[in-house]
């Protein structure tokens, strides 16, 4: 019989998760050796840092980038149509809008895109120069700002340019639409990347969801109170009622019950626990009541150590990633040099208007050469592999373990839940004399209908399949 208490108890208040934890450790998915307290940007690649251990909080960077992307798309689409209208089917834009009005419309549409939506790129680009770690945001910020400033100067001071640069209306060609389209596409890439990074953290979030949210503490005077899980201390006496998750790793002091440990062992059959037996936090108590003594809490529990191992494996570097980092490190300075050479070559030997061609091609080199895929491919592959593996019960020690899988010739695996379904299934029925198989199975299934035992459930499911 379960021990009962006739005293009242309190329940912890539900609180909404805050947007950020000032004491949380943040790291870079591309450079896991970078760690700091609180959010920020990576000093090497400029990417926004993310929590070392994923939680259920909303991804503020994804939210911000999504907002900037949709605003950029809202203004860039009409900007592109107005700029390229004469090349599109139908009535030419030049017959509907005068050149003077058109150029100012382009400026007005480009302003929110280049000044608001692209602002994070400028900040990261400036930080990369200050830290002497040039990265893809250096190229993006430089390319977009050059295109925008050049167009602004060309619009306001066309007389500064040679006559060959000006068209019949006296205007110099501007490239507001190029800057707008570049920003919008880069933002789209950032949103897709952040969503992918967010999804790789779902495995850890699901592991976090396995833990209990509160515990029922038995105080020294015998009263009981519900407390948040993070307030459980080593040595606390905790009551675990039937069907509840065990809040911490510990030892059974009183009671007897069957405990479902499938989330740890993969075995579907509950294990009988009584006084003196060890229990693991996040496993599920059966039909009996238990009183346990907490021995490992917080980050020391088995589940927490598993979560930490998955997080570390996701951000560990594979040997091939070191090569990618080396190439990316010298890639950006080379691209800037190539862009300068491109400008000089087109400016001297290019066709008229040479300066215009030189500017466009130099900016194009800066933009299209962003080493996003080079730096992201390997770490994203590692994060996806470790995340998906954790959901299937496969835990990798580090990224190197994944890379050397191609070299193995022998694979040793756990049977239950890996090679098998992980739960019993009714295969054959041998009825006693004077009973048909269907009749016999229906009687047995009716007896097991109310039971939650895995064997009973297998019999009930088998009976349903045969009817």
Looking at residue 413, what is its pLDDT? 77
Query: Between the CA of residue 128 and those of 10, 27, 133, 276, 447, what are the distances in Å?
Result: 52, 17, 5, 58, 71
pLDDT at 291: 93
Highest mean pLDDT among 31-45, 164-178, 320-334: 164-178
Reported as a pLDDT band with limits 50, 70 and 90, residue 406 is: confident
Query: Per-residue b/e over 167-182, b at no fewer than 16 CB within 10 Å?
Result: eeeebbbbbbbbbbbb
Structural domains present in the chain = 60-203+318-383 (no CATH), 214-300 (2.70.150.10), 424-467 (no CATH)
352 CA to centre of own chain: 49
Residue 361 and residue 342 in contact, taking contact as beta carbons nearer than 8 Å? yes
CB atoms within 10 A of CB 186: 23
CA distance 148 to 4: 74
Is the four-CA dihedral 109, 115, 120, 122 of positive or negative sign? positive
Residue with tokens 């003594």: 293
Q: Which run of H or E residues covers position 258?
A: strand 257-260
The answer to pTM > 0.85 is no
Q: Is 170 left (phi over 0), alpha (psi -120 to 50) or beta?
A: left
Q: Per-residue pLDDT for 18 more than 60?
A: no
Query: What is the band of 8 on the pLDDT scale with cuts at 50, 70, 90?
Result: very low
Among 231, 230, 272, CA closest to 255: 272
Looking at 2, 86, 169, 414, which residue is catalytic?
414
DSSP code of residue 201: T
Element (H, E) at 225: strand 224-228
292 pLDDT exceeds 90? yes
Query: What are the backbone dihedrals phi and psi of residue 413, each rounded to the nearest 5 degrees, phi first?
Result: -130, 160
Share of the chain above pLDDT 90, in %: 19
Whether the predicted pLDDT of 83 surpasses 50: yes
Alpha carbon distance 294, 146 (integer Å) = 62
Read off the pLDDT of residues 360-385 as tens digits, 9 standing for 90 and up.
Answer: 788 778 767 655 555 556 666 777 77
Per-residue tokens: 135: 């990265």
pLDDT at 279 over 80: yes
Q: Say what the pLDDT of residue 1 is.
A: 38
Residues 192-220: what's their mean pLDDT? 76
**pLDDT value for 293:** 94
Distance between CA 72 and CA 189 in Å, rounded?
Answer: 13
Q: Dihedral of CA 110/112/115/120: which sign?
A: negative
Q: Is 414 a catalytic residue?
A: yes
Using an 8 Å Cβ cutoff, are 271 and 259 in contact?
A: yes
């Amino acid at each position: 019989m379960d021990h009962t208490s006739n005293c009242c108890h309190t329940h912890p208040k539900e609180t909404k998760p805050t947007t950020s934890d000032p004491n949380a450790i943040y790291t870079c998915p591309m450079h896991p050796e970078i760690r700091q307290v609180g959010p920020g940007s990576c000093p090497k690649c400029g990417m926004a840092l993310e929590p070392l251990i994923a939680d259920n909080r909303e991804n503020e960077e994804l939210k911000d980038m999504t907002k900037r992307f949709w605003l950029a798309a809202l203004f860039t689409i009409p900007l592109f149509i107005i700029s390229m209208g004469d090349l599109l089917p139908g009535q030419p834009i030049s017959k509907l809008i005068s050149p003077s009005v058109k150029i100012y419309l382009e400026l007005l549409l480009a302003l929110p895109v280049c000044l608001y939506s692209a602002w994070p790129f400028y900040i990261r680009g400036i930080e990369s120069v200050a830290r002497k770690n040039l990265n893809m945001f250096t190229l993006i910020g430089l390319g977009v700002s050059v295109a925008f400033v050049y167009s602004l100067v060309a619009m306001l001071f066309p007389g500064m340019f040679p006559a060959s640069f000006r068209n019949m209306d006296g205007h110099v060609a501007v490239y507001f639409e190029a800057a707008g389209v570049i920003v919008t596409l880069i933002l789209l890439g950032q949103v897709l990347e952040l969503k992918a990074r967010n999804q790789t953290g779902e495995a850890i979030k699901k592991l976090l969801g396995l833990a209990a949210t509160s515990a029922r503490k038995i105080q020294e005077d015998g009263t009981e109170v519900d407390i948040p899980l993070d307030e459980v201390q080593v040595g606390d006496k905790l009551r675990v009622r039937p069907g509840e998750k065990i809040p911490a790793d510990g030892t059974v002091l009183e009671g007897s019950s069957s405990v479902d440990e499938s989330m740890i062992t993969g075995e579907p059959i509950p294990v009988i626990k009584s006084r003196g037996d060890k229990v693991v936090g996040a496993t599920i108590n059966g039909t009996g009541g238990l009183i346990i003594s907490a021995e490992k809490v917080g980050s020391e529990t088995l589940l927490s150590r598993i979560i930490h191992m998955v997080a570390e494996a996701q951000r560990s570097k594979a040997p091939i990633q070191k090569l990618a980092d080396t190439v990316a490190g010298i890639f950006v300075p080379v691209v800037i040099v190539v862009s300068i050479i491109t400008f000089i070559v087109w400016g001297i030997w290019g066709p008229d208007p040479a300066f215009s061609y030189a500017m466009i091609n130099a900016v194009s080199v800066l933009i299209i050469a962003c080493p996003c895929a080079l730096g992201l491919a390997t770490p994203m592959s590692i994060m996806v592999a470790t995340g998906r593996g954790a959901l299937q019960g496969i835990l990798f020690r580090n990224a190197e373990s994944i890379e050397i899988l191609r070299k193995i010739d022998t694979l040793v695996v756990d049977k239950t839940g890996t090679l098998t379904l992980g739960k019993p299934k009714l295969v054959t029925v041998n009825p006693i004399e004077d009973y048909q198989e269907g009749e016999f199975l229906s009687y047995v299934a009716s007896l097991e209908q109310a039971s939650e035992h895995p064997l009973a459930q297998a019999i009930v499911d088998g009976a349903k399949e045969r009817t």
